[in-house]
């Protein structure tokens, strides 16, 4: 008896009362007393950069008691940058989802609990106990068994075998759609489970929603004479309350923070006639057949990078976190230039990394890559974080002038207007056609003065109006 643990000695003595247990049964009895905390780990929302503290849950790809493998998708979240898929870092069984779709999840807090069939560290155990206390129902050894019984039991009392095929579910966990489509569903007051998805893995597309709303429905035949109430409703003003989309919600927070930055605006007109001619020659050169077509934007982005070499303060950021009473200016050696892009989901700003080391062709290829990923909502956190200065090409839509707004991680932004044909005088005084663009700068007036912006704008003008000067400085 000295070889047995104390908690097994009572069971051993039961042999004398007709309840004989052998040694292997005792060991199994001992293992059954192990707490389930030893196999459940909380899956924490990792830091996705750029000071983001919370994200919105768009949809779950899993549900409780579902098996997941490493790198399987758990959920889709929306930050103020873009929608991102969160994948599992380990394999196991989903035990609990801590958030519903549309909830806000905090960075560093649990998203879900996963049974990983392994030991749990003290930090994870503390998180599990705290979340269980908040829910008002501590985790017990019987919970997994009850969940399994509920999963396989039917209303008529029949029990499904564990390997029986499950019926297709229209729950929120199996309904897939992009944030834009979900916003459209909210606007039309349509439950996503009522729409048949035709996209990949049953994803609901915009066309599916349109087809659903266009489906014929049985409606009563109106009477020949309009009722007074109907006549009154035609003239009354109607107001519709719409919730903000995930990107709009994050944009609201980001732009609200930007209100604390005193903006300095500087606008000038640039002659892009020579640049337009060079661009036409390059796009029609035989060597360019396998290269992307060059727009004005890659030239401007490269010219901006060259100008930042002379004025590095415009590539800096203000550090107020280390010592709020004594802010510091952090100069950055790399030029990660953000490109504002209009997508079906809203405005996002991915950035081109290390522009100071790239050629104009490489910049053009990177812009095309980011644009394709943005339209497909496939941008990664790496694409969306680490920007040092931004270019907003609002002229591609049609604007001439713009007053761009800064974000709190940058001190300057450049807005580009549309190209226009305007009359001008040549050196002999003759009226000629000139191709012009308006460049609009905004800078943080707490650390950048107007003279610095004006001098940098003049350097940029020289590279854009005389692109051969830019060519001799390319690496």
Q: Do residues 76 and 83 lie in contact, with contact meaning Cβ atoms separated by under 8 Å?
A: yes
Show the tokens assigned to 145: 């068994």
User: Which residue's structure tokens are 């029990």?
Assistant: 159
Is 80 marked active-site?
Answer: no
Q: What's the rounded Cα separation, in Å, for the pair 43 and 52?
A: 18
Q: Do residues 115 and 39 lie in contact, with contact meaning Cβ atoms separated by under 8 Å?
A: yes
Q: What's the rounded Cα separation, in Å, for the pair 441 and 9?
A: 81
Q: Catalytic residue among 212, 268, 342, 445, which?
A: 445
Is 445 marked active-site?
Answer: yes
Could you give the dihedral angle defined by the CA atoms of residues 180, 182, 186 and 190, in that order, rounded to the nearest 10 degrees? 130
Q: Do residues 412 and 389 lie in contact, with contact meaning Cβ atoms separated by under 8 Å?
A: yes
Q: How many CB atoms lie within 10 A of CB 41?
A: 24
Q: Measure the CA angle with vertex 264, ends 263 and 267; round to 5°.
A: 130
Q: Do residues 341 and 350 lie in contact, with contact meaning Cβ atoms separated by under 8 Å?
A: yes
Q: Do residues 76 and 118 lie in contact, with contact meaning Cβ atoms separated by under 8 Å?
A: no
Q: Do residues 386 and 336 lie in contact, with contact meaning Cβ atoms separated by under 8 Å?
A: yes
Q: What are the catalytic residues?
A: 445, 449
């Amino acid at each position: 008896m000295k070889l047995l643990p104390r908690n097994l000695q009572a069971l051993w003595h039961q042999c004398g009362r007709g309840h004989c247990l052998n040694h292997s049964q005792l060991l199994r009895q001992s293992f059954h007393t192990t707490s389930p905390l030893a196999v459940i780990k909380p899956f924490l929302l990792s830091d996705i950069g750029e000071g983001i503290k919370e994200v919105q849950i768009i949809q779950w790809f899993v549900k409780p008691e579902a098996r997941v493998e490493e790198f399987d998708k758990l959920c889709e979240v929306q930050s103020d940058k873009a929608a991102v898929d969160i994948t599992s870092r380990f394999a196991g069984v989903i035990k609990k989802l801590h958030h519903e779709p549309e909830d806000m999840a905090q960075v560093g807090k649990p998203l879900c609990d996963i049974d990983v069939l392994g030991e749990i560290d003290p930090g994870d155990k503390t998180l599990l106990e705290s979340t269980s206390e908040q829910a008002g129902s501590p985790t017990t050894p019987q919970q997994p068994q009850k969940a399994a019984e509920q999963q396989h039991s039917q209303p008529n009392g029949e029990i499904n075998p564990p390997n029986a095929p499950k019926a297709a579910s229209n729950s929120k966990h199996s309904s897939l759609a992009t944030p834009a489509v979900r916003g459209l569903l909210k606007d039309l007051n349509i439950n996503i489970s009522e729409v048949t998805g035709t996209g990949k893995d049953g994803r609901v597309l915009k066309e599916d929603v349109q087809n659903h709303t266009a489906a014929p429905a049985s409606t009563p035949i109106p009477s020949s004479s309009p009722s007074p109430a109907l006549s009154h409703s035609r003239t009354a003003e109607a107001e519709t309350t719409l919730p903000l989309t995930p990107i709009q919600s994050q944009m609201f927070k980001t732009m609200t923070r930007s209100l604390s930055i005193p903006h300095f605006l500087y606008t000038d007109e640039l002659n892009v006639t020579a640049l337009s001619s060079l661009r036409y020659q390059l796009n029609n050169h035989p060597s360019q057949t396998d290269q992307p077509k060059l727009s004005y934007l890659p030239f401007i982005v490269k010219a901006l990078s060259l100008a930042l070499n002379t004025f590095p303060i415009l590539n800096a950021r203000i550090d107020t976190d280390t010592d709020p009473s004594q802010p510091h200016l952090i100069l950055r050696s790399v030029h990660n230039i953000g490109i504002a892009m209009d997508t079906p989901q809203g405005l996002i700003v991915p950035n081109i990394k290390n522009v100071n080391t790239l050629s104009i062709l490489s910049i053009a290829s990177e812009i095309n890559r980011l644009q394709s990923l943005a339209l497909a909502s496939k941008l990664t956190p790496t694409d969306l974080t680490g920007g040092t200065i931004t270019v907003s090409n609002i002229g591609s839509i049609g604007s001439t002038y713009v007053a761009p707004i800064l974000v709190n991680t940058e001190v300057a932004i450049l807005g580009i207007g549309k190209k226009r044909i305007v009359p001008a005088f040549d050196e002999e005084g003759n009226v000629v056609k000139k191709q012009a663009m308006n460049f609009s700068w905004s800078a943080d007036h707490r650390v950048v003065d107007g003279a610095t912006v004006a001098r940098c704008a003049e350097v940029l003008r020289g590279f854009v109006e005389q692109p051969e000067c830019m060519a001799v400085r390319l690496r």
